[in-house]
Structure 1
Amino acid sequence: MKKIVFLLMSVLMLLALAVAGCGGTKEESKEAEPVKLLRVGTEPAFAPFEFQKEGSAEFTGFDMDLIRAIGTKLGYKVEISSMGFDALIPALNSGNIDVAIAGMSITDERKKVIVFSDPYYTSGLIVMVKKDDAAIKSFNDLKGKRIAVQIGTTGANKAAEIPNAQVTAFNDNTAAAMELKNGGADAVINDSPVLKYYLQQGGSADAKIVGEVMNSEDYGIAVKKGNEKLAAEINKALAEMKQNGEYAQLYKTWFGEEKK
């Protein structure tokens, strides 16, 4: 009789353990919440905002650090894709990407088809010529000259205003600068920080900046029209970064000076 009672108690204990074990397994088998993905498009040929170091597949630069930091604040995994500058807005509107960040100036024309975040950088256009060029001293001296620009930029739009100028558009600033270096162009028009960075990285051996910065313009992070919720989230994260000093640190890292 004792053996039977002992056996019954053992069976009951095993059943209790099994039930408890099943409960634990059910709890543990709950699927983890899916990671939110932020699909970012850029044109990595606009140093120091976005570029790839020689031999590296990693996207680096001020914009890249900024969007990754914003993504982290919002709980997103950031996935960055490379594409041509002129393909960014179509990619947004077709839903292939969620965000475009590529030193994109906020313009009335672009605001008709996309939504911009609050400005995150104020830039302007400037002229670069060969180091030994004494004839071109400012934008006003470019009439009838050969101008190299980067396709889809406000610099390209500005060059189109120059009377009788021969304007050639290139996929990136490096190619435009090489056209100047090789004698195929008399000047390059592009964003001031981009041309200054080019000179700092060795371009000053062959080229120089002339004239004053023109057309002060703000850069914004672009999202698809109808996705104002994401734009608002980005604005909130950006404001937090500016308040807590993260933005200032990134700015100093890439531009070597405090944000004014």
Structure 2
Amino acid sequence: MKKIMGLFLIMILAVGVLAACGETKDDNAGAGDKKTLVMATSADYAPFEYIESDKSDEIIGFDVDLANAIAGKLGYEVEVKDMDFGGLIQSLKSGQADFVLAGMTPTEKRKKNVDFSDIYYTAQHMVISKKDSAIATVEDLKDKTVGVQLGSIQEGKAEEINETVAITVENRNRIPELIQELKAGRFDAIIIEDTVAKGYLDKETDLTNFTLSDDPEEAGSAIAFPKDSELTEKFNKELQKMKENGELQELIVKWFGGEN
């Protein structure tokens, strides 16, 4: 009987030691780990998000800095995934991304599929054409071919214009494609956001522009999340703090060089 009791005690001690080892291993494995969020974007939208291919393959820009700032305050790291703008909403719905930061406007149509943060930046629509095109007003677009980015708020704006001024609307996946088509003469004009347009207008001296809308809220940018994501409220709280303490304005000055 003593031998049996002794074996029983040894077995209990052995199980206890193994359990303790297992707990120690798990604890050590978790130490220092930092959760990672996937940010989906379309890296063709300088200065919001873009790649300086002559320097590196890294995606940089205002939205990337904003994502890192907010996520960092919440204890997350950020992995940035580049894709076509038209596929960003689907990336949230399919679980490929945790949030989208891509200068995206929270339209009623998009709100049916995803949730949005508060507005973090506002801009305006701009029509760009060649200087010799004589296009200076919306009426001048009549019977012209107008290019827009697929899935963008500007695509909807072009369709809206088409209701009163007959135009042909064509879309492309990337902003550089729109510029190329315009310069090649396949588009008479294109519509993009003014902050993005500035970079091209500074380089392309043969282009001209006019602002399409006087309502800046029409092109307000917000962060998109999957429906009912717990991140929406968390990001909103940190975004509000950044607005109040001046951090957001510092990023605006860094990337846009002025007030917003």
Matched with 1:122 is 122
Alignment of 1:44-193 (within 5 A): 44-55=43-54, 56-133=56-133, 135-161=134-160, 162=162, 163-193=165-195
Q: State the distance in 1 between where 2:213 and 2:157 align.
A: 12
Distance 1:28 1:79, change over 3 A: closer
Identity among equivalent pairs (%): 39
Q: State the distance in 1 between where 2:232 and 2:109 align.
A: 18
Question: What is the CA-CA distance between 1:213 and the residue it aligns to?
Answer: 3.3
Distance 1:84 1:212, change over 3 A: closer
Question: What is the CA-CA distance between 1:210 and the residue it aligns to?
Answer: 2.0
Aligned residue-pair number: 234
Q: State the distance in 1 between where 2:90 and 2:26 align.
A: 43
Question: What is the CA-CA distance between 1:53 and the residue it aligns to?
Answer: 0.7
Alignment gaps of 5+ in structure 1: 1-21
Matched with 1:251 is 252
Q: State the distance in 2 between where 1:29 and 1:71 align.
A: 24
Distance 1:41 1:29, change over 3 A: closer
Matched with 1:242 is 243
Give per-residue Cα distances to partners, 1:125-146, cap 9 Å, x unaligned.
121110223x211122211101
Q: Is the 8 A contact 2:115 2:224 kept in 1?
A: yes
Q: Is the 8 A contact 1:192 1:213 kept in 2?
A: no
Q: Is the 8 A contact 2:124 2:211 kept in 1?
A: no
Q: Is the 8 A contact 1:129 1:210 kept in 2?
A: no
Distance 1:138 1:232, change over 3 A: same
Give per-residue Cα distances to partners, 1:15-48, cap 9 Å, x unaligned.
xxxxxxx99xx59963334421111100101111
Q: State the distance in 1 between where 2:90 and 2:169 align.
A: 25
Question: What is the CA-CA distance between 1:82 and the residue it aligns to?
Answer: 0.8
Give per-residue Cα distances to partners, 1:214-234, cap 9 Å, x unaligned.
55321110000021x210110
Q: State the distance in 2 between where 1:147 and 1:77 align.
A: 40
User: Which amino acid is the alignment partner of residue 243 of structure 2?
Assistant: K
Distance 1:180 1:157, change over 3 A: same
Q: State the distance in 2 between where 1:157 and 1:107 align.
A: 10
Alignment gaps of 5+ in structure 2: 1-19
User: Which amino acid is the alignment partner of residue 254 of structure 1?
Assistant: W
User: Which amino acid is the alignment partner of residue 31 of structure 1?
Assistant: A
Give per-residue Cα distances to partners, 1:190-210, cap 9 Å, x unaligned.
11211122212x02x120112
User: Which amino acid is the alignment partner of residue 236 of structure 1?
Assistant: K
**Bigger-Rg structure (1/2):** 1
SS in 2 for 1:51: strand
Q: State the distance in 2 between where 1:28 and 1:154 align.
A: 48
User: Which amino acid is the alignment partner of residue 112 of structure 2?
Assistant: K
TM-score normalized with structure 2 length: 0.83
Alignment of 1:221 onto 2:223: yes
Q: State the distance in 2 between where 1:207 and 1:103 align.
A: 23
Distance 1:182 1:235, change over 3 A: same
Distance 1:231 1:29, change over 3 A: closer
